[in-house]
Every structure is written in structure tokens, then in C-alpha cells.
Structure 1
Amino acid sequence: MKLQQLLSFTRKAVDTYQMIQPGDKIAIGISGGKDSLTLLYALHGLKRFYPNPFEIEAITVDLGFDGFETAPIADLCAELNVTYTVVKTDIGKIIFEERKEKNPCSLCAKMRKGSLNEVAKAHGCNKIAYGHHRDDLVETMLMSLMFEGRFYCYSPVTYLDRMDLTVIRPLLFVYEADVIGFKNKYNLPVSKNPCPADGNTKREYMKDLLKQLNTEHPGVMDKMFHAIINGNISSWPKVDKVLADKLNNI
């Protein structure tokens, strides 16, 4: 996928769900993976021509695992002239050594997001952007359906009233395969995830299951995606019917 295509999908999501207003300062959560680095490129590019002026900065929450490299990310941010902050934490040690969590992902995500929110707020940001893409959306819905017994998925725009921050997900319409293509084409400096649980999670199981389903029933993931965006989930922002019909062609 070329940058122009990425920007087109990103703007469609931003416009559809009114993710960015004039004067916003957006913290981009950079994990070091392909998704968040692609998001960095997307918002950096969008910033140049979007009618609502906004600022961005990049923040990485370092969980404290050995082998996690942030220098290549810092170099990319310097090249793009984007302020970059690394937050050092002991989250990895707390979860795996002190608490010895059997199911670490939920607590890790909660602690990581808490650290990101605090730093974003301290830096004057009013919004945080996550790199969740189209495939993530479907995986999350199916996990909720199978393991929680409810039809649910996180919203494209979520207001965190306790922190007075708004979370946005501008890659909502981008396929993971296109993110991979973008990473390869632009040689993104992906930092390998050193987490001991990486590759052995419910999400990985769901990803494999969806691949199998989509191979056996081509197009099933697209059908699930449209079921989500048309599903009137209570936490989702409303879009008008004309726009909703257009979304069905994405």
C-alpha cells in the first residue's frame, strides 16, 4: 500500500466519525509494532493538508523488557519532525516476576494505557490515537462474542471522562495486509515485541481462527466488519444513513 492510499483510508475514518477538531493535540501511542508506526505516518501525512489544523507527538511506554529498541523509532520521529517521548516503566517486571500473572494481557494493557494517558495529559494532549486496524476490530468483536457472550467492539471514538481525554482509531478502515505492505514498502523500523506472552494469546488464537474461516468462506471477515459498523453498538457514535450506506462499500 502506498502512502496516498493510507491517507485516503485514514481521512475516511477521521471524517466519518469526526475524530479530529481544530486545535487538537494528539498523542500517538507507539508500541514499536507495524500498526502504530503506520499510524504515525498516516497522521503525519494527514496533518499537512487536513482542513482542521492539529498537532501530533509520539509516546512509547517502555514495559522494561530486555531487547526493546527505541533508537530506530526516535530516528524516524526526528526525520518526520515529530516530538518523541519514551516512558520507562517496570510493568513487565510487575506482571511476570512479582505478580506472576497467568493471563497477563488485560492487566498489562490497563497499566500501559494508564501510563500513556498520564504522559499525554501532562504534555497537553487532549486526544490519543491507537493503531487498531480493520482486522483488529473483527478480532475484538469475535473475542467478545465467544468469551464474554455479547456483541461488542471498542468505538472509533471513546471519551475517557476520568482523564478528560478522547481515544481515536484512525486506521479503522485499513486491512492488516495493507499495513504489512506499507511496512515493507517504507521499511518501517519495527521493534520486535520481547513480551513472553507474545504469540500465545487469545487474540492470536482469534487471528488464526479468522484466517481459517476466511479461507473456507471468502469474504466472511468483510461481512463481520460491516455487521460491526452497522450494528448500532451503544457506545459507537452515530452516522447518518447516507453515510452508512457508503460505508457498506468500503
Structure 2
Amino acid sequence: MKKILGPMRKAIEDFNLIDDGDKIGVGVSGGKDSMLLLYALKLYQRFSPEKFELEAFTVDLGFEGFETKAIESYCESIGVPFNLKKTNIKNIVFDTRKEKNPCSLCANMRRGAIHNSLKDRGFNKLALGHHGDDAIDTFFLSLLYEGRINTLPPLTYLDRKKIYIIRPLLYVSEQDIKNSIEKNNIPIVNNPCPADKKTKREDMNKLVHKIYKEVPDARNRILTALNNEKGLRLWFS
């Protein structure tokens, strides 16, 4: 876990992601990123200079075959309280509205459900499992499909909800997450969504990996650029 905890601790310190007395909820979908983040934050909690509470929050979208019991059992095994929010998001998005591009509406509804769950429990921060490769994919998605320069921020404040969104894994690679999941026997819950792996983000991930093969050290240089405010040179600068 050194390749996870070291970069995570650096991100927490660089971006001031955790304060003493925080009540942090981890958004746990059951996928590798969120399950690894939950375990990493539990380990970090033991030696963190800031004292904080930690609980897991899962949103059940209503798909058949979503095994929330596996998530709950893992949370119990590492001593993290588990919160489950059942919703009918699947029925609204896929059955009633029959969205051709369901991901945007589903994501918005899912975010609303988990934000409300945190507020109900009195939590002030939501930790999400986005890693460095997610940040790069988001950068290229925004650049190529939206015509703007944008990526996943380490820290965001939602004024309406009075909640901070933190992303402690932005210095961590997806490959290191996969390796740590295997080495630490962390269970993964399959995503039953029919749109899984069929999105623009998945296509962008494949395109970015082609760049990695063609350009040595491209991944690290892109991440450096995303955190290099002084190096930003645009027409309006």
C-alpha cells in the first residue's frame, strides 16, 4: 500500500483535503477505486495528524444483481460504518424516460442522493475515488468535446449543500490501484448498469493509453501540467 498511501498523503497535504474534526463519507460504488479509497483512508486514519470520522455511503440505483451485502460485509471487516441509500434511479432513467444517453442524468441523480445522505448524517466532506488517470481522461474529454480546459479538482465546495468534495487519490495511478486491490484481497462488486464500459469516457481512456504508448512519460507530464498554474499560457493570459 506504499504506492497508495504515500501519494494520497501528499495530495491531502498539498490541497488541504482533511481538517481536524472532519466527518468524511466515502462514496462507495463497489468498484475498485472507491473500495481501495475506503481501505486507504481507514489506514490513513490511524496515523493522520488530523482526527476525523469515516463512514461509507452507497447509493443503490435499483439494478438487479447489485450486491450491497458484499460492500457492507467488507466495511464491517475493516471497522467502517456502512450507510445504504436505496433509490429508483434506474427506473426513472432507463424505464420511464428511456434516456439514449443515460449517464449524465444518472450521475446527477446519484450525486443528489449521496449528498442528501451525508447531510442527514451530519457529514461535511465526501471523498471520491477518482485517480490521476481519471483526471487526465476528464481533461481530454473537456478539451475535445466541450472546447474548454477543465479537469477534476482535488477540492470542491458545494455551497448549496454545505459539503466539500475531496479526491485524495489524484496522485495515484489506476495501475497501482489494480495492484493494491489484488495484493490486499479487496472485494469488488460488479456494475450491473447496461451503459458500463460503453461511454465516451471509456473511449477517451483508450485514446489516452495510445498516447502513453507513443510518448514516453506522457502520463506524468500531463499530470504535472494540470498542476502547473504558472505554466499556463493561453490567448487571454
Deviation at 1:122, TM superposition (A): 0.6
Q: Which amino acid aligns with 2:178?
A: I
Residue correspondences, number: 232
Q: Give the aligned partner of residue 175 of structure 1.
A: 173
1:10 has 2:8 as partner = yes
Unmatched 5+ stretches in structure 2: 233-237
Secondary structure of residue in 1 paired with 2:63: coil
Secondary structure of residue in 1 paired with 2:76: helix
Q: Distance in 1 between matches of 2:140 and 2:77?
A: 39
Q: Give the aligned partner of residue 158 of structure 1.
A: 156
Q: Give the aligned partner of residue 132 of structure 2.
A: 134
TM-score by length of 2: 0.95
Q: Give the aligned partner of residue 218 of structure 1.
A: 216
TM-score by length of 1: 0.90
Identity %: 47
CA distance 1:97–1:233, change in 2 (3 Å) = farther
Deviation at 1:233, TM superposition (A): 11
- Conserved? CA contact 1:127–1:167, under 8 Å: yes
1:45 corresponds to which of 31, 43, 46: 43
2:52 corresponds to which of 29, 32, 54: 54
The C-alpha deviation readout for 1:168-213, integer Å capped at 9, x for no partner, is 0000100000000011111211010000101110000000001111
Name the Cα RMSD after superposition.
1.4
Q: Distance in 1 between matches of 2:123 and 2:219?
A: 34
Q: Distance in 1 between matches of 2:227 and 2:91?
A: 38
Q: Give the aligned partner of residue 25 of structure 2.
A: 27
The C-alpha deviation readout for 1:225-245, integer Å capped at 9, x for no partner, is 1111114699xxxxxxxxxxx
- Conserved? CA contact 1:133–1:174, under 8 Å: yes
1:121 has 2:119 as partner = yes
Q: Give the aligned partner of residue 235 of structure 2.
A: none
